[in-house]
Structure 1
């Protein structure tokens, strides 16, 4: 049930629901004609854009809202400051926030972008969606590595169709999934996002994910654009998240790259994300050879290439291969990247605005802007109405989705053999005690001690389901032990 305050806010926004289709510049440009191809519409709009508007499309606001005191918090001042130079896409932000609280805020900023900017170039909303929404309130399916163990493709397609419909209900038409890397190193903290270690298995599940997500609606629009990631990743030295991969072209293409070949040639994903990692010490965010010669020329990938979150910045702050943020931006766009994901400042691509007199960079930026505009036109962002709270209520966690979840969860169950070090072997069951648990944020490679018995919204961590959370109380238990620190 939606809170009264939220319902009132949504009611006030209802007249805005069709503005995405109605908004248009007064000159009646060809980009507003849905009978044209996405490429034709993108070319038409590109000719109308200023230099600043073009650079703005290269990034976006990844964190629309935060969680403060267990409640959703939208900082309009901060949002407007970022929007000046990064306005290609938006993401919802803190995953502890509920979908019903976020949709009114998202619709507000969407309608403002459509109606209060010169050309009315709409945002496209993006989200990680490996096994559900990356916000609270949706249906949480098993992790990808669990669903990958089922080998039940028809059932898996039902699960992805449910995830797709819940994303659409939030106005999300671009997901940063599927993960098509190989889970070969058990030290890699992100194995749960992957389908498994076998290239054939991973390629099959990735292809079915893409085809199901990118199914077209009655108007011919792609329902949800997909992103294959992370090109290339999964075998970093020591299992370290951002480390270099040691291996030649044969290893990259015939082992790690095999699922990408299948996904690209059979399913045509609209975008691809490069990894944080390096290959032979060259960061993927600037790897011209792999991004252009191999990905574009050899494999024939035609879609948008984006960074992983903060990976362009890392070339200056971590890898030390760039002399400044601006240098990192130039290396990235010359290395084949066309869009930046940046969850928090500083972002790098806004510095490209200083390259207005560089004809080479200007041409690369035109190509990059054309790519994201094509994704927007392909998914109907200039034509579809804004999502409604009524459809959200009817879609999230409906009985059909829950039944699919129950079915695939049953098939995804695996028996796991636990191995304990000698000092951990004195465990007495069934005596149970509540303990404090050290949760590792595997995505960032960071850790801290947190009390997982408090409400989840008070924690800044993902708890279950690989990039998906549900709001509530989470209790972690362990058998009593002879080690006193286990029970503190």
Structure 2
């Protein structure tokens, strides 16, 4: 006879209560952590041990597994294994839990899913900055859905994505993982990714990270402290998370490594319980960032030992420790010492079991190893579409699109390096940290793409220089913190070779146009020039790339710079001497194809920056939605951005005209700002306009930004045609965190600005919000809409 928890006809709450009542303390605690194992199809699983995860006693592995397990860490993504074999190995582990443990509780598996499912053979999607540059929420929802389908195919139940960090300091290595610097845009795109990834059934869990404020660290340094007051934290860094929880029903959240004003996120009951669960109604599970619980005693000095660190995190609201079992098993000691209660443990385990029941894991514990389908033609086409829509033209003197008969020199260290198109959480790049390599034959480089489009006879290649001559692991410590007293001299791994530059100069001289491909090689913990733990001290191109660019520009030939990177860079003052400058981010496996198609005119450029490119590293941190006095007194010369948030050029010209408001005054309680205008394509070819609506609060009870994005859209127009665009902005979206720490909407006058970027404003209106100051409580209207009607 079935026990209550084994009966799918019973309610989830009944099943959870029944199972919880049958579990020992040790079995409960086993659900509160993961293990990082090297799985084998024959069941001979080995513990993965290194300086990152620490090590569990291999002799104790079987005993530990006999108690059950909350999650298995990256069963396919840890190493290079054929997906079908990986699923077989995962099924063998699951079979052990289902047939050889007392209660037969299945395990959940998680994988990284930021730039696609991070396993061998999966689609290599572009980076999150590319997602952002599309300004296309519908497209990003499709990306989430495609990645979610690949995750389901390998038995993955939780994906550690998306990243909702609002970019603030371009030196920060993880800038590439963000959607951009605007909280509203990040919130919209992240929410759509979550909806796509989880699907209507929410049968695979998206994970919002890194909660919260991780991107505003001291000096843009990995793990560094964050100095934020509650108002700025809530309005800028928490807003995207709130949007993804409230509007997309996100199933999991991951705290960040840093501390805010001395309180680490992994120990913050205010953030993990009060804000997330009680205020926002989050009903999923909280999983630790890797070794985040351990850092409470190893680095933060908040806990004396593992037991205390575990108690701090789980008392704060954490549910599962990842990636291993460093601290959670010590909860038995924490119980004995009175540091935690059984009620707290039961609450966490109940939430974990609820998710396992809800996704149907007890009824469908195994993945079908004969139906592992990855990297379909449709998924690759989708990756190509994202890459194409994200290519952003920063400058163009008319050289682009390239002339049909142009002879082209393709020059630079990123021109023919497949890894230069992949982000830090792409499978081939991530493996470098373990001194492993993975085939990248599916990646189309810019050189290969231009040869395919133009023909071999019209393309000449010159390497010019290297960024890194050898890719290897090499962070001095992990995860990268050293004591103040440590004298640590790190030799740069950047190439200093200049001997390849003369050949590049000759190639440029022999061509009609020189396309110079420069930028980054992404990689975690100093295996690259950008990525997690690969922070920068300047915005100068890494290595000798600037010297290469100087030499090619000096030839007098037209130079088009293509930057594939994870952060913006300055070009040594050459911006005015270039024929064109193109930002292509990390475009994934079809990134080269996208670049070639856009530059040759096969695709219309529609990418727009979601990061301002600071004029100078001295302006960092710089972002468009700053306060008025950020500019200094009177105005610092290095402040500002030549290429601001929202900027991007087309191959045609658009006129913005006939702006109108439905009403000049709207009610503060339930009002809606309705603003419409016409976009007209004045050029001779089709194009894509990306109108952006910004708002400024003229008078408020606290200091407010100079402008904030509140609406955007994409308008595709044939030559000579026009469309009427209507933005509808709920008054709720004018809220901010007031003096008492709550979201409020105040009456008053607001400037409305429609532009092609945050700096290029084409149309202006003002609207009055009438009524009395209103406190926002519970759910609120968080998104505007954009309606586009083609005019006859």
TM-score band, normalised by shorter chain: 0.7 to 0.9
C-alpha distance in 1, partners of 2:363/2:529?
Answer: 35
Corresponding residue of 2:241: 260
Corresponding residue of 1:420: none
Aligned pair partner of 1:430 in 432, 453, 462: 462
Cα distance change on mapping 1:276 and 1:267 into 2, 3 Å: same
- What displacement does 1:430 show? 3.1
- What displacement does 1:154 show? 2.2
Cα distance change on mapping 1:116 and 1:450 into 2, 3 Å: farther
**1:179, 1:230 within 8 Å by CA — same for their partners in 2?**
yes
SS in 1 for 2:16: helix
C-alpha distance in 1, partners of 2:474/2:162?
Answer: 20
Cα distance change on mapping 1:141 and 1:49 into 2, 3 Å: same
Q: How does 1:353-364 map to 2 (within 5 A)?
A: 353-356=332-335, 358=338, 361-364=341-344
SS in 2 for 1:206: helix
Cα distance change on mapping 1:479 and 1:177 into 2, 3 Å: closer
C-alpha distance in 2, partners of 1:212/1:445?
Answer: 34
Aligned pair partner of 2:26 in 31, 52, 55: 52
After superposition, give the CA deviation of every residue in 1:312-368 in whole Å (9 maximum; x if it has no partner).
11111111111111111111111221211135xx61010002345559521110000
Corresponding residue of 1:332: 313
Aligned pair partner of 1:189 in 137, 160, 173: 173
Runs of 5+ unmatched residues, structure 2: 48-57, 396-460, 482-489, 496-523, 533-541, 549-792
Aligned pair partner of 1:402 in 376, 380, 385: 380
Cα distance change on mapping 1:159 and 1:465 into 2, 3 Å: farther
Corresponding residue of 1:241: 222
**1:225, 1:270 within 8 Å by CA — same for their partners in 2?**
yes
- What displacement does 1:450 show? 10
| Residues 1:342 and 2:323 are matched in the alignment | yes
**2:68, 2:97 within 8 Å by CA — same for their partners in 1?**
no
Aligned pair partner of 1:139 in 104, 119, 123: 123
When structure 1 is superposed on structure 2, of 96-105 and 184-193 the one drifting more is 96-105
Corresponding residue of 2:14: 40
After superposition, give the CA deviation of every residue in 1:10-54 in whole Å (9 maximum; x if it has no partner).
xxxxxxxxxxxxxxxxx5122223234433322221111111100
Runs of 5+ unmatched residues, structure 1: 1-26, 67-72, 418-428, 452-458, 468-475, 483-488
SS in 2 for 1:190: helix
C-alpha distance in 2, partners of 1:464/1:136?
Answer: 23
**2:110, 2:160 within 8 Å by CA — same for their partners in 1?**
yes
Structure with greater proportional helix content: 1
C-alpha distance in 1, partners of 2:531/2:84?
Answer: 21
C-alpha distance in 1, partners of 2:88/2:527?
Answer: 24
Cα distance change on mapping 1:410 and 1:445 into 2, 3 Å: farther
C-alpha distance in 2, partners of 1:436/1:117?
Answer: 50
Aligned pair partner of 2:361 in 366, 377, 381: 381
Cα distance change on mapping 1:256 and 1:480 into 2, 3 Å: closer
After superposition, give the CA deviation of every residue in 1:81-115 in whole Å (9 maximum; x if it has no partner).
65356711112252443423322211111111111
- What displacement does 1:64 show? 3.4
**1:56, 1:85 within 8 Å by CA — same for their partners in 2?**
yes
Number of equivalenced pairs: 417
Q: How does 1:220-231 map to 2 (within 5 A)?
A: 221-231=201-211
- What displacement does 1:432 show? 3.8
After superposition, give the CA deviation of every residue in 1:225-256 in whole Å (9 maximum; x if it has no partner).
11111111211111122122111110111111
- What displacement does 1:414 show? 3.7
C-alpha distance in 1, partners of 2:216/2:547?
Answer: 36
Corresponding residue of 2:261: 280
| Residues 1:306 and 2:287 are matched in the alignment | yes
Corresponding residue of 1:10: none
Q: How does 1:182-221 map to 2 (within 5 A)?
A: 182-216=166-200, 221=201
SS in 2 for 1:42: helix
**1:86, 1:350 within 8 Å by CA — same for their partners in 2?**
no
Cα distance change on mapping 1:84 and 1:430 into 2, 3 Å: same
Corresponding residue of 1:110: 94
C-alpha distance in 2, partners of 1:477/1:359?
Answer: 51
When structure 1 is superposed on structure 2, of 430-439 and 407-416 the one drifting more is 430-439
- What displacement does 1:306 show? 2.1
SS in 2 for 1:319: coil
- What displacement does 1:302 show? 2.5
SS in 1 for 2:38: coil
- What displacement does 1:464 show? 12
Aligned pair partner of 2:156 in 162, 165, 172: 172
C-alpha distance in 2, partners of 1:477/1:97?
Answer: 34
SS in 2 for 1:227: strand
Cα distance change on mapping 1:161 and 1:431 into 2, 3 Å: closer
Cα distance change on mapping 1:334 and 1:139 into 2, 3 Å: same
C-alpha distance in 2, partners of 1:291/1:479?
Answer: 44
**2:122, 2:375 within 8 Å by CA — same for their partners in 1?**
yes
Aligned pair partner of 2:331 in 334, 346, 352: 352
- What displacement does 1:169 show? 0.7
C-alpha distance in 2, partners of 1:115/1:294?
Answer: 40
C-alpha distance in 2, partners of 1:349/1:450?
Answer: 40
When structure 1 is superposed on structure 2, of 115-124 and 350-359 the one drifting more is 350-359
SS in 1 for 2:293: helix
C-alpha distance in 1, partners of 2:334/2:247?
Answer: 38
Corresponding residue of 1:455: none
Cα distance change on mapping 1:466 and 1:104 into 2, 3 Å: farther
Structure with greater proportional strand content: 2
After superposition, give the CA deviation of every residue in 1:359-397 in whole Å (9 maximum; x if it has no partner).
9521110000011111111111111252223211xx201
Cα distance change on mapping 1:478 and 1:271 into 2, 3 Å: same
Corresponding residue of 1:422: none
Larger relative contact order (CA 8 Å, sep ≥ 6):
1
C-alpha distance in 2, partners of 1:263/1:57?
Answer: 26
**2:116, 2:123 within 8 Å by CA — same for their partners in 1?**
yes
- What displacement does 1:299 show? 2.4
